[in-house]
Amino acid sequence: MPGGDMAKPLLGRRNMESNPDLTPAAGRTVGILGSGDFARSLATRLVYSGFQVVVGSRNPKRCAGLFPSAAEVTAQADAAKKTDVIFVAVFREHYSTLCDLTDVLAGKILVDVSNNTEINHHKESNAEYLASLFPACTVVKGFNVISAWTLQSGPRDGNKQVLICCDNQEAKRIVAEIAQVMGFTPVDMGSLSSACEIENIPLRLLPAWKIPVFLALGLFLCFYTYNFIRQVLHPYIREQKNRFYKIPVEVVNSTLPCVAYVMLSLVYLPGVLAASFQLHYGTKYRRFPDWLDQWLQHRKQIGLLSFFCAALHAVYSLCLPMRRSHRYQLINAAIKQSTLGFIALVVSTLHTLTFGWTRAFDENQYKFYLPPSYTLTLLVPCTVILAKIFFHLPCIHQRLRRIRNGWEKGRYVKFTLPSATGEYSSGESSSNV
Ligand code: NAP
């Protein structure tokens, strides 16, 4: 198992020497209970980071060959006796089988590395459960967000952060130091009650992308249905024309730019709403409603998904001989940068307006009284652009700028005026004066 990468210590000797704080931890003996995938990767990484490693297994003879020769593989009780810091690389279901070791583990630090298979699977976290089984030990939760693979390939190839929590500061410090020597970045997550949160992290798949992805899918579904009615259903019902061949390609290709365009405007809409909120309440210190807060935090992902849809549309249009694809092309590559992204929104809107102006008044373009999809997509971008223009009116812009600099409507602050004699007198004034 140890690959070329594993043979290299993550912190070179020079690094360790230059940081004297790290050397005491590096020489420490660290124990591991369990001989599975995680235990093997952890043992190897610990050995190459300069630790003495002792592995406790139910069957040491069988698994000794799987560990680096520098690691000692022995019986569980024996390993527990030899060290004060022990990683429990065993599944929660098997914790109770370790109870025979209660006496020998008393007073030691147990590092719970376990994960669950479901979010909030148990009432109490695995770490708290372990602590309840071994009340004489100090349990530290940590390393569960690091996979065996990351331990093998080194932190530069995956998540570098090791989230740690424990009720005992000293135990937390020791484990954080071990993580640091191994090349990881320890993150203090507070007391052991945070263990549940830490255990749920690996089960949450790209949490920041969930809402934007659902938003994109929802928009796609709406526009696809809309375009399907106009491009396929309407000709079939009214003119008995079979246009079902358009379903997989043309309808998709006319849907993608609609989604991209609306998503791009949704990047700017929360900013507009936030500005309106601040203007309305005359302060920047009032919390935004949760939904707006969430929306503001997801703007980057929404923008990137908009770019993805636009890029997909470009690929579709380039690869397939589509007569009408050019209509929907968006200048979207610039959305990474806020101002350029907004320019892209304005240019796309101008493009859509010039392209569709005459058609918007053509009766034939209305299928089942439904306007062309580009007309529909204009709604949100136009609202955003008009709102932005409104916020740039000098009187509004100035008020907004003052609010963002800390001024508050109707709030008076006390300050002291120097008097003619050099003494200070107390006065009241609005903070914007
Ligand atoms: P694994 O390969 O199945 O190893 C589990 C080990 O537990 C076994 O090798 C066994 O070692 C030991 N064990 C002790 N008592 C046991 C019992 N009564 N029944 C069965 N096994 C017993 O699992 P793993 O992937 O190494 O995971 C171990 C822990 O690390 C889990 O809590 C997991 O959630 C956590 N974790 C794993 C990863 C990963 O990438 N694999 C990542 C983060 C966290 P002996 O037979 O030598 O006693």
Rounded to two decimals, the pTM is: 0.62
Whether residue 309 is found in the same domain as residue 327: yes
* 205: pLDDT strictly greater than 50: yes
CB of residue 35 inside a 6 A radius of ligand 1: yes
Whether residue 251 is found in the same domain as residue 383: yes
Whether residue 314 is found in the same domain as residue 388: yes
* 118: pLDDT strictly greater than 50: yes
* 331: pLDDT strictly greater than 80: no
CA of 201 from ligand 1 middle (Å) equals 19
Whether residue 186 is found in the same domain as residue 326: no
Whether residue 227 is found in the same domain as residue 181: no
Poorest-pLDDT segment among 127-141, 224-238, 312-326, 361-375: 312-326
Closest atom of ligand 1 to CA, residue 149? 40
Whether residue 116 is found in the same domain as residue 227: no
- Residue 11's pLDDT is what? 39
Q: Which of 203, 230, 246 is the last residue of a domain?
A: 203
Residue 425 lies in a domain: no
Q: Which residue minimizes the CA distance to atom 37 of ligand 1?
A: 38
- Residue 180's pLDDT is what? 93
- pLDDT tens, 246-282? 898 889 989 999 999 999 999 999 999 999 999 999 9
Residue 263 lies in a domain: yes
- pLDDT tens, 394-421? 999 999 988 888 788 776 544 444 444 4
When comparing pLDDT for 25 and 183, which is higher?
Answer: 183
CB of residue 89 inside a 6 A radius of ligand 1: yes
* Most confident region among 157-161, 318-322, 364-368 by mean pLDDT: 364-368
Whether residue 184 is found in the same domain as residue 255: no
Beta strands 138-141 and 52-57, pairing class? unpaired
- Kindly report the average pLDDT of the chain as a whole number: 84
Neighbour tally for 214: CB within 10 Å: 10
Q: Which of 32, 33, 37, 157 to mutate to test the pocket of ligand 1 (most atoms within 8 A of CB)?
A: 37
Residue 131 lies in a domain: yes
User: What is the distance of C-alpha 230 from the center of its chain?
Assistant: 38
Whether residue 98 is found in the same domain as residue 230: no
CB of residue 262 inside a 6 A radius of ligand 1: no
Closest atom of ligand 1 to CA, residue 63? 47
Residue 432 lies in a domain: no
Residue 353 lies in a domain: yes
Residue 431 lies in a domain: no
The count of structural domains within the chain is: 2
Whether residue 168 is found in the same domain as residue 218: no
CA of 86 from ligand 1 middle (Å) equals 14
- Residue 327's pLDDT is what? 45
CB of residue 91 inside a 6 A radius of ligand 1: yes
- Residue 24's pLDDT is what? 54
Whether residue 252 is found in the same domain as residue 386: yes
Residue 292 lies in a domain: yes
Q: What domain range includes position 238?
A: 208-392
Q: Which of 159, 179, 203 is the last residue of a domain?
A: 203
Q: Which of 203, 220, 245 is the last residue of a domain?
A: 203
Domain with 58 in it: what CATH number?
A: 3.40.50.720
Q: Which residue minimizes the CA distance to atom 33 of ligand 1?
A: 114
Whether residue 308 is found in the same domain as residue 355: yes
Whether residue 175 is found in the same domain as residue 242: no
Average pLDDT over residues 84-90: 97
CB of residue 126 inside a 6 A radius of ligand 1: no
CB of residue 267 inside a 6 A radius of ligand 1: no
